[in-house]
Amino acid sequence: MLQTAQAHNAQQTDLAFQQCINADCKATYDANTIRTSCDKCGDLLDIAYDWDRAAVPNKLSDFEQFWSERTNPVRFSGVWRFHELLPFAPQDKLVTVGEGQTLLQQTDRVGDYVGMNHGQLHLQYEGMNPSGSFKDNGMCAAVTHASMMGAKRAACASTGNTSASLALYCSATRLMKAVIFIGSGKISYGKLSQALDYGALTVQIAGDFDDAMLRVREVASELGIYLVNSVNPFRLEGQKTIMFRVLESLGWEIPDWIVVPGGNLGNSSAFAKAFMELKQHGLIDKVPRLAVINAGGADTLYELYERRGVRWNAGRVVMDPIVDYNDKMDREHIRADTIASAIEINRPVNLKKCLRALDFMDGVVRQVPDQDILDAKAKIGEGGFGCEPASAASVAGAKLLRREGVIAPSDRVVCVLTGHELKDPSATVAYHTSDQDVFNKTLGSRGVTKASYANRAVAVPNELDDIIKAIQLYS
Ligand SMILES: *Cc1c(COP(=O)(O)O)cnc(C)c1O
Ligand SMILES: [Zn+2]
């Protein structure tokens, strides 16, 4: 039966609710309320749906028909094209700036580096989003909810990309004012410049990301500002669509592995939620495995999951080892330190959801040193793509898992490139430089000793003969 748009919308507003992830609590809350944790137990919240009343297509290929509707901005969006799989807002309330026009790229040059058979390595290039990182997938969802709630201001703490994304949505839509908390000295210029250019109020805290995160939560509740960090469950709904687009690009086939860098662990959590729901709808029958890659200098998840055996445990996470490790970090002043600033995080806020993701997707966690991250990044660039350091952790991690034999050369692997190359040009230049001081200052302090894949600029006198000689010699 044909539904009028209005009836469809009215139905969709009350499909969603918020639900505590703690199996001993499971408290539910109205979707039309603003909260970032459970009132009863303080745990994280999911967006859940009354799927029986939702209009979920019968097969994934049904989504292809929405391509023909792409003059409608909502269907042009690579997020809202899949609205039926995140139906928490009516169509006329959806906020979009054209996010999610991203591509899954097959590359044998990078595949050779990782050690894959030809045709098997894919890069999901999320740096192509309007603000240059995957964060836009989640931000359009969070800003949609914020505007439905009538928010006048939205805030986040950020290592850079969340703030760039929020700032862009606020300036492009004029729906609300962006308030951004950053740590001092840690944010790359590419990202900081976006927040400033888009006109966000930018508050620089004397501290690191985790300090900024604590403060923004206090300030948000004090002043009633809408919080868009990835503790916001609506953001993760938007990030599910990265996986829908991966499947779409593969003709709705399921890859063997999804490899993603792990920071606050919103992405990994959202990816698994996407697959859980597709499975529940009977739209897929197999689930890929998940590899979450930490930087060696920010390896809390690796420590807890692989070394201390912390598990999801059917929603009853045993907290002692986590509390112990947090205490140890405080006591011994262990602070995250990596060139991959987007994943330079001590206490990932979505830890528990990520444990659930690892459980559902038979996941593994690895950590890779900055040396491997930068080498992989150089190879990704050489392969014609380019990404910021954090993103390259996925490729470095895939290479490690190949070497360990966990990933087989014949597996079909998708590495998520989370952010654009131009987000952090100083890391790229420091790697390729022949100026030892620049190299040491930026990279040497982080244990990077060599740049095996450096493409150095050739210095020549300003003389035609010398220039010609240099070109003949080097090309
Ligand atoms: C935010 C971010 C990450 C970390 O993602 P999480 O969802 O926090 O784990 C990785 N790479 C880039 C470029 C990012 O901006
Ligand atoms: Zn609860």
- What ligand has the least distance to the C-alpha of 43? 2
Mean pLDDT computed over 92-102: 97
Is 10's pLDDT higher than 50? no
Ligand 1 nearest atom to the CA of residue 270, by list position: 7
Give me the pLDDT at residue 3, please.
39
Q: At what angle are helices 241-249 and 266-280 packed, to 10 degrees?
A: 60
Is 96's pLDDT higher than 50? yes
280-318: pLDDT as tens digits: 999 999 999 999 999 999 999 999 999 999 999 999 999
147-157 as b/e: b if 16+ CB within 10 A:
bbeebebbbbb
Cα 314 to averaged position of ligand 2 atoms, centre (Å):
14
- What ligand has the least distance to the C-alpha of 298? 1
Cα Rg of the chain, angstroms: 22
CA angle 24, 30, 31 (to 5 degrees): 110
Is 120's pLDDT higher than 60? yes
- What ligand has the least distance to the C-alpha of 264? 1
Task: Name the closest-CA residue to atom 8, ligand 1.
Answer: 264
H or E segment at 326?
helix 320-331
Q: Is the dihedral of CA 411, 387, 239, 185 positive or negative?
A: positive
Beta strands in 184-332 (DSSP E): 201-205, 226-227, 257-261, 289-295
Ramachandran sector of residue 224 (left: φ over 0; alpha: ψ -120 to 50; beta: rest): left
Cα 261 to averaged position of ligand 1 atoms, centre (Å):
7
Which pLDDT band, with edges at 50, 70 and 90, does 270 fall under?
A: very high
Pick from 62-66, 206-210, 240-244, 260-264: least confident? 206-210
Say yes or no: CB of residue 388 within 6 Å of ligand 1.
yes
Give me the pLDDT at residue 228, please.
94
Q: What is the 3-state composition of the chain as percent helix, strand, coil, each rounded to the nearest 5?
A: 45, 15, 40
Is 209's pLDDT higher than 90? no
Which pLDDT band, with edges at 50, 70 and 90, does 411 fall under?
A: very high
Percent of the chain with pLDDT over 90: 85
Cα separation, 4 vs 14, whole angstroms:
17
Give me the pLDDT at residue 4, please.
39
Say yes or no: CB of residue 161 within 6 Å of ligand 1.
yes
Is 185's pLDDT higher than 80? no
pLDDT higher for 5 or 218?
A: 218
Which pLDDT band, with edges at 50, 70 and 90, does 475 fall under?
A: confident
List domains and CATH numbers for the chain: 103-131+235-427 (3.40.50.1100)
Give me the pLDDT at residue 13, please.
58
Is 2's pLDDT higher than 70? no
Is 6's pLDDT higher than 90? no
Say yes or no: CB of residue 400 within 6 Å of ligand 1.
no
Is 268's pLDDT higher than 90? yes
Which pLDDT band, with edges at 50, 70 and 90, does 174 fall under?
A: very high
Choosing from 343, 391, 428 the residue with most ligand 1 atoms within 8 A of its CB, the one to mutate for a pocket test is: 343
Say yes or no: CB of residue 342 within 6 Å of ligand 1.
yes
Cα 10 to averaged position of ligand 1 atoms, centre (Å):
34
Nearest to 248 by CA among 471, 461, 59: 59
Tell me the β-bridge partners of 368: 295
Say yes or no: CB of residue 371 within 6 Å of ligand 1.
no
Q: Is the dihedral of CA 370, 259, 80, 224 positive or negative?
A: negative
pLDDT higher for 158 or 433?
A: 433
Task: Name the closest-CA residue to atom 1, ligand 1.
Answer: 342
Indicate the SS3 state at residue 16.
strand
Give me the pLDDT at residue 36, please.
85
Say yes or no: CB of residue 132 within 6 Å of ligand 1.
no
- What ligand has the least distance to the C-alpha of 46? 2
Say yes or no: CB of residue 265 within 6 Å of ligand 1.
yes
Task: Name the closest-CA residue to atom 13, ligand 1.
Answer: 419
Cα 319 to averaged position of ligand 2 atoms, centre (Å):
15
Cα 53 to averaged position of ligand 1 atoms, centre (Å):
33
412-471: pLDDT as tens digits: 999 999 999 999 999 999 999 989 998 998 898 899 999 999 999 999 999 999 999 999
Give me the pLDDT at residue 149, please.
96
Mean pLDDT of the chain: 94
Tell me the β-bridge partners of 290: 258
> Alpha helices, DSSP H only, in 46-160?
73-76, 108-114, 135-148
H or E segment at 212?
helix 209-223
Give me the pLDDT at residue 67, please.
85
Which positions ≥6 away from 169 have C-beta within 8 Å?
A: 95, 97, 136, 139, 140, 143, 175, 178
CB 409 within 8 Å of CB 120: yes
Give me the pLDDT at residue 183, please.
81
Choosing from 123, 133, 163 the residue with most ligand 1 atoms within 8 A of its CB, the one to mutate for a pocket test is: 133
Mean pLDDT computed over 357-372: 98
Is 118's pLDDT higher than 60? yes
Which pLDDT band, with edges at 50, 70 and 90, does 11 fall under?
A: very low
Mean pLDDT computed over 156-185: 92
Say yes or no: CB of residue 293 within 6 Å of ligand 1.
no
How many residues comprise the chain?
A: 475
Cα separation, 441 vs 454, whole angstroms:
17
Tell me the β-bridge partners of 226: 154
Task: Name the closest-CA residue to atom 14, ligand 1.
Answer: 342
Cα separation, 89 vs 372, whole angstroms:
42
Cα 24 to averaged position of ligand 2 atoms, centre (Å):
8
